[in-house]
């Protein structure tokens, strides 16, 4: 009888263990970068102005002009709805941990930071989601608060409306409409922004299993909430700026929101002091902006590397899974085409000044960072670097919801060495076109004043948000990227050529015929598109990587592959560079849906091609 009972107990225990293994939920973290939230329905605290009335719905909104957002690398208005759509998608997937790697606000204006806080609080209370954010260059434009002006809000009659935090900023600005003055449009500094967003990682919460900063002096074993709270005040979280006697805040933190998982939120805003300082305390004009990222971190915030080394050592000792996120990329993000881009376009074009030096990846890989989620560039990309010491860093660039292709990332932790990353496109967005009646009025006004660079009204026929962002990119290329970035002679030489013309720049017809046959293509396939289409698709690939493949199509990608192969044989060095850049851009590391294996330091593509 005893033996039978013992067998039953063993079987039951075995069943429980297996059952627990089956039902054990894998940890998932969503990453939403570069939200750039502008609260289009917010009310100013010190001014009754509420925007303009929607001619169709009667609802008031305070939005930027379509002209402004089609000259910017980000959408200003519709991303408000896209952010809510992304959060609703996260709720449906029952994901409880969400990280925002910087640029969560338009420009750190009180009205927009408050608006974001309200949204995050609502989703926290209603759905039990924990949010963890870090700073970007648009959240804390300067380390201290400063007056600011926006000249491109949409006003009555489709005209531009100036909104400023001070009349002192308006001396050189002309406008048909009376400027709106409100302190709610100034740029907040660290003190105001961090305190407003204190519930989202910047300060410890009782629910955290652990929390620290680069300046904490307690250990994991000594941790308690009260101790962390005392050391979390911003005055205790400052560092000395190199070659000055100035101290600035550092909002970095480490948190354990779920047992066994450490989230490392790195404040990589590195402000460079001017050669000549004002001598005044907390003067925002003593510093440049922080948009360079990690190249300046190595110079001005070296304390972060020492802290990260300590954290990664502790994580290994204690069996914690360490996931880092910050606003800026740690690895080159142009599919290793940056040297060619620099040669063809110039060192100050194509945002090349934002490319991190190779030393950045080497240093952070050796500091112990293996997986890092970044933003800043509004692109979908994966970069991998292995240091001379054999340490590998996987840098995952999270797209922006305010640009093409609008998406966020989900990290699934399968084990301490196996991770899955999936990119979720937010293509269908409720109310994405609700602001279009405003733009109709703007377009009419631009026609009346005979604006020479008027935007293409076809954008207002976009069937969904994905199509809208595609139009945004197309107009951005036409109105800004081509005039500002593209070499004039290269543009002239390829813009109006057909694909066939480009292919036949290689005079070896037998070689072309052989390649066409091998790829099941005909020369007439190349007559259906032009060099401009190739340029536009280059920007699609540069922005969205694998997410653009379906839109471009397999057949056209195959054609581009052949074009690149044959242009590389050209006698024109610029065409050779263009071909090399394009080919690299369409052949990067997996960036849509993939698996990271830390044991073997490899990445496997899970996307269906």
Residue 95 has pLDDT above 80, yes or no: yes
Angle (deg, nearest 10), helices 531-544 and 465-476:
120
**DSSP state letter for 397:** E
**CB within 8 A of 341, min separation 6: which ones?**
334, 349, 350, 352, 581
Any idea which residue has 């369409």 for tokens? 586
Distances (CA, A) of 346 to 178, 336, 357, 595: 41, 16, 16, 35
Residue 21 has pLDDT above 90, yes or no: no
pLDDT band at 169 (very low <50, low <70, confident <90, very high): confident
Other C-beta atoms lying within 10 Å of the C-beta of residue 502:
27
Per DSSP, helices labelled H in 139-224 are 190-196
Give yes or no for a contact between 350 and 111, defined as CB atoms under 8 angstroms apart.
no
Question: Mean of the per-residue pLDDT values for the chain?
Answer: 94
Q: How many residues does the chain have?
A: 609
Residue 179 has pLDDT above 80, yes or no: yes
How far is the C-alpha of 376 from the C-alpha of 350, rounded, in Å? 14
In this structure, the dihedral spanned by the alpha carbons of residues 98, 114, 398 and 364, taken in order and rounded to 10 degrees, is -80
pLDDT digits (tens, 9 = 90+) for 487-529: 999 999 999 999 999 999 988 899 999 999 999 999 999 999 9
Other C-beta atoms lying within 10 Å of the C-beta of residue 101:
32
Tokens at residue 66, please?
């379509």
Alpha carbons within 13 A on the beta-carbon side of 86: 32
Which residue, 546, 552, 558, is CA-closest to 607? 546
How far is the C-alpha of 347 from the C-alpha of 343, rounded, in Å? 8
Tokens at residue 98, please?
């969400």
Other C-beta atoms lying within 10 Å of the C-beta of residue 513:
11
Phi, psi of 501 (to 5 degrees): -60, -45
pLDDT digits (tens, 9 = 90+) for 249-260: 999 999 999 999
Beta strands in 328-452 (DSSP E): 371-374, 381-386, 392-397, 407-413, 418-425
Residue 256 β-bridge partners: 210
Query: Three-state DSSP class for 97?
Result: strand
Residue 16's pLDDT is what? 41
Taking CA 596 as the corner, what is the angle to CA 594 and CA 597, rounded to the nearest 5 degrees? 140
% of the chain beyond a pLDDT of 90 = 92
Distances (CA, A) of 514 to 67, 510, 517, 522, 523: 47, 6, 5, 11, 11
Residue 18's pLDDT is what? 38
pLDDT digits (tens, 9 = 90+) for 195-240: 999 999 999 999 999 999 999 999 999 999 999 999 999 999 999 9
**CB within 8 A of 245, min separation 6: which ones?**
none
Residue 609's pLDDT is what? 56
Residue 174 has pLDDT above 90, yes or no: no
**DSSP state letter for 405:** S
Residue 9 has pLDDT above 80, yes or no: no
Strands, sheet with 210-212, edge to edge from the N-terminal-most edge strand: 210-212, 253-258, 261-266, 321-326, 371-374, 392-397, 381-386
How far is the C-alpha of 134 from the C-alpha of 214, rounded, in Å? 14
Angle (deg, nearest 10), helices 554-567 and 573-585:
150
**CB within 8 A of 511, min separation 6: which ones?**
566
Pairing of strands 261-266, 253-258: antiparallel
pLDDT digits (tens, 9 = 90+) for 343-384: 999 999 999 999 999 999 999 999 999 999 999 999 999 999
């Amino acid at each position: 009888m005893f033996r039978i009972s013992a067998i039953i107990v063993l079987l039951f225990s075995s069943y429980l263990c297996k059952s627990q293994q089956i039902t054990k939920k894998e940890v998932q973290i969503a990453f939403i970068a570069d939200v750039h939230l502008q609260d289009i329905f917010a009310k100013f605290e010190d001014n009754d102005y509420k925007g303009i009335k929607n001619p169709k719905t009667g609802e008031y909104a305070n939005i930027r002009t379509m002209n402004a957002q089609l000259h910017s690398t980000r959408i200003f208005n519709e991303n408000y709805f896209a952010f809510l759509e992304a959060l609703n998608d996260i709720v449906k997937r029952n994901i409880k941990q969400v990280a925002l790697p910087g640029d969560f606000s338009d420009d750190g204006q009180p009205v927009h930071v408050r608006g974001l806080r309200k949204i995050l609080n609502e989703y926290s209370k209603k759905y039990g989601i924990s949010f963890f954010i870090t700073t970007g260059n648009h959240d804390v434009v300067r380390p201290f608060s400063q007056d600011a002006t926006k000249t491109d809000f949409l006003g009555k009659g489709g005209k531009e409306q100036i909104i400023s935090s001070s009349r002192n900023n308006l001396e050189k600005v002309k406008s048909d409409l009376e400027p709106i003055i409100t302190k709610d449009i100034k740029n907040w500094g660290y003190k105001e922004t961090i305190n407003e967003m204190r519930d989202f990682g910047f300060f410890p919460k009782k629910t955290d299993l652990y929390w620290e900063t680069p300046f904490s002096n307690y250990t994991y074993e000594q941790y308690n909430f009260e101790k962390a709270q005392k050391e979390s005040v911003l005055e205790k979280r400052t560092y000395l700026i190199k070659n000055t006697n100035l101290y600035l805040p550092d909002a970095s933190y480490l948190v354990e929101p779920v047992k066994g998982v450490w989230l490392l939120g790195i404040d990589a805003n590195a402000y460079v002091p001017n050669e000549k300082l004002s001598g005044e305390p907390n003067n925002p004009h003593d510093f440049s902006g922080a948009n360079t990222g990690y190249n300046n971190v190595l110079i001005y915030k070296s304390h972060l590397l020492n802290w990260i080394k300590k954290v990664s050592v502790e994580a290994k000792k204690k069996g914690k899974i360490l996931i880092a996120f910050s606003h800026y990329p740690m690895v080159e993000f142009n599919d290793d085409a940056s040297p060619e881009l620099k040669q063809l376009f110039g060192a100050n074009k194509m945002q090349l000044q934002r490319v991190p030096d190779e030393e950045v990846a080497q240093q952070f890989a050796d500091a112990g960072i293996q997986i890092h989620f970044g933003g800043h560039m509004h692109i979908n990309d994966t970069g991998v670097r292995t240091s001379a010491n054999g340490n590998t860093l996987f840098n995952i660039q999270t797209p922006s919801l305010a640009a093409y292709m609008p998406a966020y990332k989900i990290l699934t932790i399968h084990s301490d060495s196996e991770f899955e990353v999936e990119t979720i496109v937010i293509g269908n967005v409720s109310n994405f076109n609700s602001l279009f009646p405003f733009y109709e009025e703007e377009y009419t006004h631009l026609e009346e004043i005979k604006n020479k660079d008027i935007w293409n009204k076809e954008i207002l026929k976009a069937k969904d948000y994905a199509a809208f962002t595609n139009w945004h990119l197309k107009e951005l290329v036409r109105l800004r990227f081509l005039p500002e970035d593209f070499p004039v002679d290269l543009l002239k030489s390829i813009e109006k050529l057909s694909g066939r013309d480009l292919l036949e720049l290689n005079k070896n017809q037998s070689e072309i015929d052989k390649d066409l046959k091998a790829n099941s293509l005909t020369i007439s396939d190349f007559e259906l598109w032009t060099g401009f289409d190739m340029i536009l698709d280059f920007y699609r690939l540069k922005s969205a990587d694998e997410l653009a493949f379906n839109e471009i199509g397999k057949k056209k990608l195959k054609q581009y592959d052949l074009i690149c192969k044959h242009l590389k044989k050209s006698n024109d060095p610029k065409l050779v560079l263009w071909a090399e850049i394009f080919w690299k851009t369409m052949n990067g590391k997996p960036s849509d849906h993939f698996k990271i294996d830390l044991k073997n330091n490899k990445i496997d593509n899970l996307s269906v091609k």
